[in-house]
Amino acid sequence: MSKPEIAQAGPYIVDVEPGTYHWCSCGKSKSQPFCDGSHAGTDFSPVEIVVEEAKTLFLCGCKHTEHKPFCDGSHGSL
């Protein structure tokens, strides 16, 4: 698997509390947009997100962003 699966053609808008999260970069996770270990056996690894205050994040759903893990609108050209 060299290209990620498109989990959704748009961002995941998630409210998060302070803590550490792991964004799914392969697109296979059943816990989108977060990693559930489904990348095992692929070339993909989750991207760690450290949140220091409660906020809303726009996390990439298409997995093709240049600004991992955040949506940059790449889904518009897929």
- CATH number at 15-56: 3.40.5
Q: Domain map of the chain by residue range? A: 15-56
The mean pLDDT value of the chain amounts to 96
Q: What pTM does this model have?
A: 0.93
Q: Could you tell me which residue, 78 or 10, shows the higher pLDDT?
A: 10
According to the model, what pLDDT value does residue 13 have?
A: 98
**Which tokens belong to 73?**
């609108």
DSSP 75: G
Residue 22's nearest CA partner among 55, 66, 59 is: 59
**Which tokens belong to 50?**
């450290």
According to the model, what pLDDT value does residue 20 have?
A: 98
36-67 pLDDT, tens digit per residue, is 999 999 999 999 999 999 999 999 999 999 99
